[in-house]
């Protein structure tokens, strides 16, 4: 049994450091990327408060052989399965290879509402050898839930996972 119990009083940087350590411990010896994404989604859910969705979209292909994001392991309500590059918050992060920190999802052009409870969102690309292989997506029902500290912490987690998923 894995029992990770983050202290609720931790500041965000320390919380993300402990999350990364736990994710490192769970993924360092496992070669199956889907298993690793599933455990990391569960860890994010345990460590970070005020989320209503946490998980991965993987880089895949559509029927025409074009790259697009495909739903991966997550915690939360069922979500849209395929997202074209450049569309929504996830597709924008994947196409631009940059973190998207969205304080108000209703103000983001093309935002895809998978859960109507979502108010703010943070999406970080996972980049391996210069290519986006996945994105990590966090949604919150709280407006402006995510800060630069969340972006920094999630980017460090994405970097650690790049060759494990
Ligand atoms: N809101 C995302 C879609 C994925 S769900 O939030 C799980 C977007 O605009 O890309």
Kindly give the distance from the C-alpha atom of residue 81 to the centroid of ligand 1, in angstroms, as a whole number: 10
* CATH code, 12-161: 3.30.450.40
Kindly give the distance from the C-alpha atom of residue 121 to the centroid of ligand 1, in angstroms, as a whole number: 8
Whole-prediction pTM: 0.96
Q: pLDDT at residue 101 above 70?
A: yes
- In the chain, beta strands by DSSP E: 53-61, 67-76, 82-84, 100-102, 120-128, 131-140
Kindly give the distance from the C-alpha atom of residue 70 to the centroid of ligand 1, in angstroms, as a whole number: 11
Question: What is the residue with the minimal CA distance to atom 2 of ligand 1?
Answer: 112
Question: How many H helices and E strands in the chain?
Answer: 4, 6
pLDDT for position 59: 98
Question: What is the residue with the minimal CA distance to atom 5 of ligand 1?
Answer: 114
List the domain boundaries for the chain: 12-161
The three-state secondary structure class of 84 is strand
Average pLDDT of the residues in 2-13? 81
pLDDT tens by residue, 89-98 = 999 999 999 9
Kindly give the distance from the C-alpha atom of residue 162 to the centroid of ligand 1, in angstroms, as a whole number: 21
* Contact between residue 83 and residue 62 where contact means Cβ atoms under 8 Å apart: no
pLDDT for position 1: 63
- C-alpha–C-alpha distance, residues 126 and 97, integer Å: 8
Kindly give the distance from the C-alpha atom of residue 92 to the centroid of ligand 1, in angstroms, as a whole number: 10
| CB neighbour list of residue 152: distance below 8 Å, 6 or more residues apart | 13, 16
Average pLDDT of the residues in 85-109? 96
- C-alpha–C-alpha distance, residues 28 and 10, integer Å: 25
pLDDT for position 28: 95
**The dihedral of CA 152, 157, 160, 163: what is its sign?**
negative
Ligand 1 binding residues, C-beta < 6 A: 53, 79-80, 83, 88-91, 111-112, 114, 118, 121, 137, 139
Q: pLDDT at residue 120 above 80?
A: yes
């Amino acid at each position: 049994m894995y029992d990770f119990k983050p202290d609720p009083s931790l500041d965000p940087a320390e919380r993300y450091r402990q999350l990364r350590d736990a994710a490192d411990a769970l993924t360092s010896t496992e070669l199956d990327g889907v298993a690793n994404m599933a455990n990391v989604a569960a860890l994010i859910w345990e460590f970070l408060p005020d989320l209503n969705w946490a998980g991965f979209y993987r880089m895949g292909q559509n029927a025409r052989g074009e790259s697009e994001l495909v739903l991966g392991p997550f915690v939360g309500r069922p979500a849209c399965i395929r997202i074209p590059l450049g569309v929504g918050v996830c597709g924008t992060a994947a196409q631009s290879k940059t973190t998207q920190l969205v304080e108000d999802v209703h103000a983001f052009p093309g935002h895809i509402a998978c859960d109507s409870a979502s108010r703010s969102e943070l999406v970080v690309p996972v980049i391996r050898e210069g290519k986006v292989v996945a994105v990590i997506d966090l949604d919150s029902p709280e407006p402006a839930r995510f800060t630069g500290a969340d972006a920094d912490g999630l980017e460090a987690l994405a970097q650690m996972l790049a060759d494990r998923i």
